Homo-oligomer: A and B are copies of this chain.
Amino acid sequence: MAKTWTTPPSDALRASSDLVLADVDTRSTPGFAGDKAYAAQTLESGREALSELQEKLFAGSRTGGDRGNVLLVLQAMDTAGKGGIVRHVVGAVDPQGVHHHAFKAPTEDELAHDFLWRIRRELPGPGMLGVFDRSHYEDVLIGKVRELAPLDEIERRYAQIVEFEDELVANGTTVIKVMLHISFEEQKKRLAERLERPDKFWKYSPGDVDERNLWTDYQGAYETAIQRTSTDRAPWFVVPADRKWYARVAVQRLLIDALRGRDLSWPPAHFDVELEKTRLAAS
């Protein structure tokens, strides 16, 4: 895999505290040394690698070993391709090992609690790959743009998020936060396609244009949120996503590298193998 990437996405896409979102070219393919066809091959061959790593993570947790896990947070403007990441990247992993949750507008019950309450309830268990389609970041994104909370409350949330994620990491979770970054023009094209295809109508909502009309505000809210919450423990990656094929290989590789970073191995037998062979033979 080494030759596929001139720079691994964990370096090439890492967001720093002085991120300027407008400086990130949404059509660029940082670190990737190939075209669309090569990306398709890379994605295909990465499926097994990812799947095996995830099985090792899962296996460890099932035998009282490493109880750690991985949490992938996906945030993006509408149509940026969160769903495609879930289907084409996460889809390679055994469903048994995945905990996926899509966060919608909070319910009354959820609003009656601290904003992290509903997030904690959906954290992945030991050995699992958790995937958040939207997340606690909505509370500093739409929360800020739509003024759902006062600004000083939004400010407090950045710090609360950093503290929360530090706690997750301390408890053995690898946290990977991905913003899929598309351009205003690309979104228009993709929304238009949804309005042309009856098999895509269900993905469209008139509210999408309302949100789109606040594009600049959202970009600003993303930029600030990422600046304030991208830490060494729980980094943000800004993934150019106008080219879906790039976003998919990039996120796949981020996951693979994160799992490799956990230094996983098959757990040893927690029983006497020879004794069990004898018992089985006698059965």
Chain A residues packing against B (C-beta within 8 Å) = 59-60, 62-63, 83, 86-87, 90-91, 93-96, 98, 100, 102, 131, 133, 188, 191-192, 195, 198-199, 201-206, 209, 212-213, 266-271, 273, 276-277, 279-280, 283
**Using Cβ atoms and an 8 Å threshold, which residues of chain B touch A268?**
198, 201
CA distance A31 to B212 in the complex (A): 53
Question: What is the bound-complex CA distance between A188 and B268, given in angstroms?
Answer: 21
Q: Which residue of B lies closest to A96 (CB)?
A: B86
- State whether B271 touches A209 (Cβ < 8 A): no
Chain B nearest CB from A72 CB (Å) reads 11
In the bound assembly, the distance between CA atoms of A104 and B212 in angstroms comes to 46
Is A276 a contact partner of B100 (Cβ separation < 8 A)? Answer: no
Question: Contact check: which of B199, B206, B279 meets A206 at CB < 8 Å?
Answer: B279
Contact of A283 among B90, B188, B199, B269 (CB under 8 A): B188
Which one, B86, B98, B199, B279, contacts A209 given CB within 8 A? Answer: B279
Query: Is the Cβ of A277 less than 8 Å from the Cβ of B87?
Result: no
With most chain B CB atoms within 10 A of its CB, the pick from A62, A90, A266 is A266
